[in-house]
Amino acid sequence: MSEMTSQDGATVYDWGTSPDEMPSLNASVLHAIAGQVNAELRASHQYLAMAAFCEQRKYPGAARWLKHQSMEERKHALKLLEFVLARNAPVELEEMPAPTVEFKDIADVFVGALLQEQQTSAQINDLCELAFASKAFSEMAALQWFLTEQVEEEQTARRWVSRFQRVGNDAGALLDLDRELATRSSSD
Ligand SMILES: [Fe+2]
Ligand SMILES: [Fe+2]
């Protein structure tokens, strides 16, 4: 930036380039975060398929819980999308692969949910590692929320997996768990 004096004597600044020509800071980190938008959407899609499986097998509580989870993942995708756009970087939405629709039983659905959360945690860790190595401080701050969120997501999924494993095929206990899953509010 250099200072210049205009004809009327006022000081004006020459910034050297127009904002549109300036490359986004940390372009590679933002590109990777834009990739995570797609990963969160895939997770949302998978949870919806799990909800449909449970609904078909007459577990409305589990179906409701999984639908909420699907909406949460969509919110995560939007949060990341808005962040990348706020940083003036592009987001490319990819084609959505078909989700897994076959599960052994309801317990298997929750094992799948836990595996998916663990995979997401690994993805967020990789993003943090990249942001850290790139000294992308704003990106690190934005990813902090997702690190904390993943601890909670994994813990919740792990609890349901162990509860389903404990009750096995006991029909009454399975109905109790389903009833409990139905109590999830939209903010949980
Ligand atoms: Fe997520
Ligand atoms: Fe999640």
Residue 114 CA to ligand 2 center (angstroms) comes to 9
Q: Is 13 helix (H, G, I), strand (E, B) or coil?
A: strand
Do 109 and 67 form a contact (C-beta atoms < 8 A)? Answer: no
Residue 45 CA to ligand 2 center (angstroms) comes to 12
Of 181, 66, 52, whose CA–CA distance to 113 is shortest? 66
Strands (E), the chain: 2-5, 11-14
**18 or 88, which is more confident?**
88
Question: Averaged over 171-188, what is the pLDDT?
Answer: 88
Residue 188 CA to ligand 2 center (angstroms) comes to 12
Which of the four pLDDT bands, split at 50, 70 and 90, describes residue 187?
Answer: low
CA distance 179 to 188: 16
Residue 112 CA to ligand 1 center (angstroms) comes to 14
The architecture CATH gives domain 28-181: Up-down Bundle (1.20)
Q: What is the pLDDT of residues 125-168, one digit of tens each?
A: 999 999 999 999 999 999 999 999 999 999 999 999 999 999 99
Residue 24 CA to ligand 1 center (angstroms) comes to 25
| Three-class secondary structure assignment of 98-135 | CCCCCCCCHHHHHHHHHHHHHHHHHHHHHHHHHHHHCC
16: pLDDT strictly greater than 80: no
For residue 50, which amino acid is it?
A: M
Give the number of whichever ligand sits closest to the CA of residue 146.
1
Q: What's the confidence (pLDDT) of residue 1? A: 54
15: pLDDT strictly greater than 70: no
Domain ranges of the chain: 28-181
Question: Averaged over 96-106, what is the pLDDT?
Answer: 97
Residue 6 CA to ligand 2 center (angstroms) comes to 56
Residue 40 CA to ligand 1 center (angstroms) comes to 5
Q: What is the pLDDT of residues 20-71, one digit of tens each?
A: 655 556 999 999 999 999 999 999 999 999 999 999 999 999 999 999 999 9
- pTM of the complete model: 0.87
Strands (E), 10-120: 11-14
Q: What's the confidence (pLDDT) of residue 47? A: 98
Query: For the stretch 154-183, what's the b/e string if a residue is b when 16 or more beta carbons lie within 10 angstroms of its beta carbon?
Result: bebbeebbebbeebeeeeeebeebbeebee
Residue 80 CA to ligand 1 center (angstroms) comes to 10
Q: What's the confidence (pLDDT) of residue 46? A: 98
Q: What's the confidence (pLDDT) of residue 9? A: 73
Residue 20 CA to ligand 2 center (angstroms) comes to 35
Which of the four pLDDT bands, split at 50, 70 and 90, describes residue 185?
Answer: confident
Question: Averaged over 115-119, what is the pLDDT?
Answer: 98
